[in-house]
Structure 1
């Protein structure tokens, strides 16, 4: 497991922040029917019980949006991933199917409202991560998004540079079909509430759909 530190600038901007990290050996697959049955069931439930304007009021999403403002980012222009996923479904656009590990993280994010970083642990440089705030001109290539302006966004950095924000993770550490170790980080900008449940949901799904026979769980703040 990696050591994860929260910088003073994040503590000042979001004093209640708490995080959970899950590390596990896994087997990724291109598609998993059982997982997609769960995703489709949740999609039907969400779209039949939610209005578009309800999404940003969901407590975890609302707290993440507030953290963006405090760090210096407009959450209307750079949406937290959990909000973006829900808005996509509410517009009638199906959730994109990437691979089992990515799809699984997206499901937990959709269910809980937490923005969750999913990384290929073997691509992370060093053994320490720190959560800070993005700087002007800091290089960051978002997955499928090209160069992302992360100034004012919360960002996890390894010894080489940024690897993840609540809006998008970096191409350098992204998971793919060859990933054999996952590091998933749940961001609790609303504090500890629901954090343990989200992390345990990840552990359970990894066991059910990615052949994980055990995982490590770390809480940090």
Structure 2
């Protein structure tokens, strides 16, 4: 799968750098060992962060800034990296979905980037393009129903939108049966090393918890 950044996205975020991770995996419903890692990070954040100070994380701050530049209120349509950390700081448990989704949430919490995970067998075509959502553009967020993505960064395949930093699309969502995985790390802060570190951390988690084979990543700008 080829991933491209559109001219309209470059105009609001010329420093953007992303990572595209691919792997063959075996997903499971639950991993107790993974959840020990999630709980440990949650406790660390509760001891060191507040809902205000987390906004100063470079990766989260940059994503919020791009939302505003694209025309979206980041406090109403929160990027996933921020939303996950806010939830644990409020004393709430993260939703347990399945091992793959849970480990992506861990990576997003740890590094602050909004990360999309997709079942690559459900894409249409061989190219994803990162652009900006339009008024009236249909989009069914996972577990959210139809949502307004006008002003949100959005990846599109031949059919339409598949992922935003707020919510990915029902059509390409991962499940316990997913074997052909594609993950996108969104670096609106332009921090190439931070994006690389996040991609490598995800591959480590996939190897550890999802029996990953043929895992690799490439950067795109």
For the aligned pair, the TM-score class normalised by the smaller chain equals over 0.9
Superposed displacement of residue 201, structure 1: 0.4
Superposed displacement of residue 55, structure 1: 1.5
Superposed displacement of residue 108, structure 1: 0.2
| Distance of 1:136 and 1:62 partners within structure 2 | 25
1:2-151 mapped onto 2 (5 Å cutoff): 2-151=1-150
| CA deviations over 1:52-103 (Å, ceiling 9, x no partner) | 2111111100000000111111111111001111111111110110001100
How many correspondences in the alignment? 220
SS in 1 for 2:189: coil
| Distance of 1:145 and 1:193 partners within structure 2 | 33
TM-score w.r.t. length of structure 1? 0.98
Question: 4+ residue runs of structure 1 moved beyond 3 angstroms?
Answer: none
| Distance of 1:220 and 1:5 partners within structure 2 | 7
SS in 2 for 1:194: helix
SS in 1 for 2:213: coil
Deviates more, 1:60-69 or 1:45-54: 45-54
| CA deviations over 1:141-187 (Å, ceiling 9, x no partner) | 00111111000000000111000000000011000111001111000
Paired residue for 1:195?
195
Paired residue for 2:206?
206
The unaligned stretches of length 5 or more in structure 2 are none
TM-score w.r.t. length of structure 2? 0.98
Superposed displacement of residue 218, structure 1: 1.2
